[in-house]
Amino acid sequence: MKNLSTVFLLIFTYAVSAQEKFKPEWNSLKQHKATPEWFADAKLGVYFHWGVYNVPANGNEWYGRFMYEHDRQKTWGKDVYDYHTKTYGRDVDYHDFIPQWKAEKFSAKRWVDMFENMGAKFIGTIAEHHDGFSLWKSDVNPWNSFDKGPGIDVVQQISEEVKKRDLKFMTTFHHGFHMLFYPKKENSFLRPVSSHSVTYENPEVPQDEKYRILYGNTTYQEECDIWLGKLNEVINAYSPDYIWMDFAQGYVKEDYRKQFLANYFNEAAELNKEVVVNTKGSFFPTDLAVVNLERATVEDIAPEVWVTDFQLGSSWGYNKNKRTALDPKKAIRILAEVVSKNGVMILAAAPMAEGVIPQEQAEAMKGIGAWLKLYGEAIYNTRPFVEYGQGPTQMKRNPEDEWNDYGAIKAGLYDLNAKDIRYTTNSKTVYAIQLGWPAENKESVLTAFANKAENMEIKSVSVLGSKQKIKWKKTAEGLTVIAPKKMPAEAEAALVYKITLK
C-alpha cells in the first residue's frame, strides 16, 4: 500500500489533471445535468452483489456485520450470529473467509452476455459493499480482490467486457456505512458524525492493527480520506458512466462529497461523456443526482427521472439456503409500472462465490429478455404518457415507509395483474401495456383516452406479436380494444397495444 499521506495528497489534487469545469461548490456542481438522455432511454440496468460474504453464503451480504452481533434484535441478524457460531466457531473471523474466496469459475464475458441478453442497457459491478473489501486493484485499500482472495480485478474485467458493446458501464458503492459498520451501541449507526475517532464498541471484532482498515477501526478523518481515495481510483481507472451510491454517504464530510462530484464530473467532461450519480436520501442535491428508491415505485408520474432497484435472488447477496428468484412475469410488470412513471429499473444478481450465477436467477433473466426482445419498443426510448395508467391494484404511500419524503411505495408492486394497464409513449405512438394476458377476445377500456388524451385522434391500433386485426372504438369512456383470439408469445407477462396517433 502506498504511504497514506501520499494517497491523501492525491485526493484533493486529482481534479487538477481534468478540465476544471466544475468546482467543489454546490452552485457549480448543480450545472451538471442529472439525467442524460441515454439514461432516460435505457430503462433497465443490472449489476451484482459478489464478495467475501459469498463464502459462508448464509443470511445475506451483511454477513460480515451480523456475524459479530450476538445481541442484535432483528432476527435475521441474530440468525447469522448463531449460524456462524455453530458452523465455524467464534475463532473464525470475517477476514478468514478472504483466502477461501477463489472465484475459480468467474467469467466476465459469460456474465455480461447473460445481462445483455436479459435486455439491460447499462451493466455494472458492485465496487464495494459495506464490508470494507474492494473489488478492484487498489492502492488506497489493501483489502481488495486483486491483492487478496481471488486475485482478480473484477471492476476492470466487467468494465472491459461491457465497453466492447454498445452499453453503458456502472459501478456501485455501498461503502458510506463502513465507518460505522461494526459498532453495536444502540442506534450508533444513526448518530451524527463529527471528527471523533470511530473505535470498536464490540470486543468480538478483530483489534489487530493489520486489520484496521478492513474493519474500519480508523479515525473519522482517515475514513473520509479513504472514501474519497477509493472513488477517485475507480473514476480514473475505469471511467464509469454511472456511479450508484447506497445509503449513508451523508456520514462523509460535505467537502469530500463535493470534491468527489467535482472529480467525477470533470473527468467526464474531459472524456466528453455524460455521467450519472444517484442519491439515496439527501446526501447529494437532486438538482445534480437522480433519486434512488429501493424496491419501490411512486404514486404518479414524477417530474424528473428516478431509479429503483430490485434483487433477482432471495436477497441481494447469494444465500445457499434460499434458492429462489424473481418471477420474470412480475419483473416485466414492475418494469412497466416504473417506466410509466418516469423511472429506470435496476436488477441485482446474486452470484455464488465460485463465480456462477444460480440457475434460477439465470432462468429469470432469460424470461425477462424473452419478453423485451419481442416488445422492448414499448419500454426503451419511451417517455411517460399523459397518464401513467389505470387499474385496481393500489399504489398508495405509506407514511411509515423508508424514503417516504420522495413518495416511495412498496405495497402492491408484486400484485400487478391483467386488470392493470400502464402507458408509455414515443413520438406519435402510445403503448398500453396490459400487465398480464386478459383472455381471448377480452374487451378492455383504455380510460386515458377519455381523460387527458381525450382529444387525441387515433389512426390505428394493433397488438405487438399478433397478426390479427384488432377491433377498437373510441367512446366517451375511452378507447375500447379487443384482445386477440390467440395469446402472443410471452404475453402472459404483459400484452402490448400499439396505438398510432394521427
The mean pLDDT value for 370-389 works out to 98
Percentage of the chain surpassing pLDDT 90? 78
Instruction: Give the up-direction half-sphere exposure of residue 394: CA atoms within 13 A in the CB hemisphere.
Output: 4
Instruction: Spell out a b/e string for 357-379, using b for 16 or more CB atoms within 10 Å of the CB, else e.
Output: bbeebbebbebbbbbbebbbbbb
Q: Could you list the beta-strand ranges (E) of 357-452.
A: 383-390, 421-426, 429-434, 443-446
So what's the pLDDT on residue 20? 78
Q: Please, which pLDDT band fits residue 498 given cuts at 50, 70 and 90?
A: very high
| Burial of 237 per CB tally in 10 Å (0-12, 13-18, 19+) | middle
pLDDT above 90 (res 120): yes
Closest-CA residue to 101 (of 132, 136, 56, 156): 56
pLDDT above 70 (res 17): no
Task: State which of 17-31, 85-99, 216-230 shows the largest mean pLDDT.
Answer: 85-99
Task: State which of 71-85, 266-280, 408-422 shows the largest mean pLDDT.
Answer: 266-280
So what's the pLDDT on residue 395? 85
The mean pLDDT value for 253-271 works out to 97
Lowest-confidence segment of 198-202, 414-418, 432-436, 498-502 by average pLDDT: 198-202
Read off the C-alpha cell for 295: 424496491
Coil/strand/helix, residue 379: coil
pLDDT above 50 (res 18): no
Quick check: 409 and 401 in contact, CB under 8 A? yes
So what's the pLDDT on residue 183? 41
The mean pLDDT value for 441-447 works out to 98
What is the enclosing helix (H) or strand (E) of 8?
Answer: helix 4-13
Residue written as cell 481534468?
18
The mean pLDDT value for 291-312 works out to 96
Question: CA 104 to CA 424: how far, in whole Å?
Answer: 43
The mean pLDDT value for 279-298 works out to 95
Query: What's 144's DSSP letter?
Result: B
Quote the pTM value: 0.93
So what's the pLDDT on residue 65? 86
Question: CA 296 to CA 75: how far, in whole Å?
Answer: 23
**pLDDT tens for residues 218-247?**
888 888 999 999 999 999 999 999 999 998
Instruction: Give the up-direction half-sphere exposure of residue 188: CA atoms within 13 A in the CB hemisphere.
Output: 16
DSSP string, 336-367: HHHHHTTEEEEEEE---TTS---HHHHHHHHH
Task: Name all domains of the chain by residue range, CATH numbers in brackets.
Answer: 4-373 (3.20.20.80), 385-501 (2.60.40.1180)
Q: Please, which pLDDT band fits residue 198 given cuts at 50, 70 and 90?
A: very low
Answer positive or negative: Cα dihedral of 201, 204, 205, 210. Answer: positive
The mean pLDDT value for 7-26 works out to 65
Query: ∠ CA 293-380-284 to the nearest 5 degrees?
Result: 30
Residue written as cell 460480515?
64
Q: Please, which pLDDT band fits residue 6 given cuts at 50, 70 and 90?
A: very low
Query: ∠ CA 192-196-199 to the nearest 5 degrees?
Result: 100
What is the residue type of 390?
Q
So what's the pLDDT on residue 68? 87
Question: CA 173 to CA 277: how far, in whole Å?
Answer: 11
Residue written as cell 470498536?
200
**pLDDT tens for residues 331-344?**
999 999 999 999 99
Question: CA 417 to CA 199: how far, in whole Å?
Answer: 51
Query: What's 402's DSSP letter?
Result: T
pLDDT above 50 (res 185): no
